[in-house]
């Protein structure tokens, strides 16, 4: 089925393929599962693909009402979005609400994202040689955001020491925030690993729209800071 030259949704796909990135939590809410990040060659290929006209979420909801299986799939993908309150031609909006540092060695460190500015001063401190993971809390509104990606680059004394890319997934608008946990990492250890670092994090979608770019500093020290 096509609308203005763009394929709306491929009804011939199997239900299992349609739902491969969709799961339900214990309360029945729909969440998106992260997919693997594309390679650099894939990124270059994607940059050369011309997408057709954008189909609004309201159009998605209104199309094919009589097709029961397609309607059920759309309900899983779009969650509890009400077509009556969705405005036409609104751009998706993503707000990153907080960053949480999770480590088995200590209680969670919750860091709110400053509104419209970078964190001032030292944002957080990690213990050398410690296992940790990052959890993002984000809110999606207005329309579906496709291919949301997280990138993070870290420098020490002006030299780039780490670069991370993670595909977070595709999200529909909903009232409740989403959460996404990054894979577990281990901080470096030793005298040369300790000290101050600068970093830049970005959240960008498939249309290269940036929803957050944040610059901050953090430390790696011998131990966790006292609480």
- pLDDT tens digits, one per residue of 20-65: 443 434 333 333 333 333 444 445 544 454 445 555 555 655 555 6
Mean pLDDT of 105-133: 94
pLDDT at 226: 84
- Secondary structure (3-state) at 199: strand
pTM comes to: 0.66
* pLDDT (mean) for 89-115: 91
Q: Give the per-residue pLDDT at 23.
A: 40
The residues, any chain, with a CB within 8 Å of residue 9's CB and separated by 6 or more, are 1, 60, 63, 64, 70, 73, 74
């Amino acid at each position: 089925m096509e609308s203005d030259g763009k394929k709306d949704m491929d009804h011939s796909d199997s239900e299992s393929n349609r739902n491969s990135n969709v799961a339900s939590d214990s309360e029945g809410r729909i969440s998106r599962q992260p997919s693997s990040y594309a390679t650099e060659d894939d990124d270059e290929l994607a940059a050369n693909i011309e997408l057709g006209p954008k189909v609004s979420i309201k159009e998605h909801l209104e199309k094919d009402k009589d097709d029961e299986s397609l309607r059920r799939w759309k309900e899983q993908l779009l969650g509890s979005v009400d077509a009556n309150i969705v405005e036409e031609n609104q751009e998706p909006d993503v707000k990153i609400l907080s960053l949480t540092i999770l480590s088995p060695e200590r209680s969670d460190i919750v860091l709110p994202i400053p509104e419209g500015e970078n964190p001032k001063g030292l944002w957080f401190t990690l213990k050398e040689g410690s296992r940790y993971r990052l959890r993002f809390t984000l809110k999606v509104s207005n329309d579906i955001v496709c291919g949301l990606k997280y990138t993070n680059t870290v420098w020490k004394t002006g030299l780039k020491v780490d670069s991370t890319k993670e595909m977070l997934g595709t999200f529909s608008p909903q009232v409740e925030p989403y959460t996404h946990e990054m894979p577990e990492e281990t901080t470096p250890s030793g005298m040369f690993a300790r000290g101050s670092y600068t970093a830049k994090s970005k959240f960008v979608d498939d249309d290269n729209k940036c929803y957050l770019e944040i610059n901050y500093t953090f430390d790696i020290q011998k131990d966790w800071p006292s609480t």
